[in-house]
Copies of this chain bind each other. A is one copy, B any other.
Amino acid sequence: MMKRKTTAQWRTAFNAAGLRLTRQRLLICRELEGRRDHPDVERLYRAVKPRLKQISVFTVYRTMNALENAGLAWRVATWRGHARYDANVETHGHFLCEKCGRIDDLDGGSVGAGFAAFAAAKGTVHRVEVKLSGECDACLAGARALPQEA
């Protein structure tokens, strides 16, 4: 279960990452953590705009990048070219509907076992993907020849 942060907790989290807590950032974070639909930048912008008229989409873009770099949010999927975000950075899965773009959370407990059956309740699963990311052994070793440049 996703737990919402207090303003103080957000401030602490930002400061720990060397970032300042601005009105814009707090508003965006609050909006993101209050949602279950994994919104894109545009949607966050539209949701926050009425409460801070001066805010621009560009700030939302920059904020999302900052959040992701700080590990405070994740870009969990891309749908029709739009990046989709989640403030829940605990290990869990997602069910993406390729047709409507809806993204549902899959409980972390379902990761690793029986998630296909779990997800079946959400619709028809066409594709199952497990993605791990981090830093590969070659990079950790400071390899000269980057595989991607081969």
Contacts and interface: CB of A to CB of B under 8 A. Distances in A.
Given A131-B93, A139-B99, A113 B115 contact: no
A26 B148 CA distance: 24
A138 B100 contact: yes
A62 interface: no
A135 B123 CA distance: 6
A102 to B, nearest CB: 4
Given A74-B127, A113-B112, A113-B113, A132 B95 contact: yes
B111 A147 contact: no
Nearest to A114: B112
Interface in A91-113: 91-102, 104, 106, 111-113
A132 B136 contact: no
A124 B136 CA distance: 6
